[in-house]
Amino acid sequence: GEDVEQSLFLSVREGDSSVINCTYTDSSSTYLYWYKQEPGAGLQLLTYIFSNMDMKQDQRLTVLLNKKDKHLSLRIADTQTGDSAIYFCAESIATDKLIFGTGTRLQVFP
């Protein structure tokens, strides 16, 4: 079945690293994505990882994928106040249809 779960809330100090976690249930997922949603705005694609990869790094973002545990994480290095937003992980299964998680609200304080 299709189900993507995330913790609801994360609070970090500016300059620290943030780690947002996600678990999914469908082992046939082909791509996994991280989207960011700022207040009053639509979702913005941050990064994605193909299911046969373990890690992907893109500037301050590092995505780790553990296929055995069906666990995906997004690490943001040197977190800034502008990173405060809701982060959604999503999976796709051989198509362009996305199944989104519930979202994790990241709050960055000075």
Partner 1 sequence: EAGVAQSPRYKIIEKRQSVAFWCNPISGHATLYWYQQILGQGPKLLIQFQNNGVVDDSQLPKDRFSAERLKGVDSTLKIQPAKLEDSAVYLCASSAQGALGEQYFGPGTRLTVT
Could you give the CA distance from residue 38 to residue 82 in angstroms, rounded to a whole number?
9
- Asked if residue 90 binds partner 1 (CB under 8 A), the reply is yes
- Asked if residue 43 binds partner 1 (CB under 8 A), the reply is yes
Could you give the CA distance from residue 71 to residue 59 in angstroms, rounded to a whole number?
22
The H-assigned helical ranges of the chain are none
- CB closer to partner 1, 101 vs 108: 101
Select from 59-67, 68-76, 77-85, 101-109 the region that touches partner 1 (CB under 8 A). 101-109
Q: Of 18, 79, 103, 106, which one interacts with partner 1 (CB under 8 A)?
A: 103
Residue 12 sits at φ, ψ, to 5 deg, of -135, 155
Token pair listed for 41: 């705005």
Select from 12-20, 55-63, 69-77, 88-96 the region that touches partner 1 (CB under 8 A). 88-96
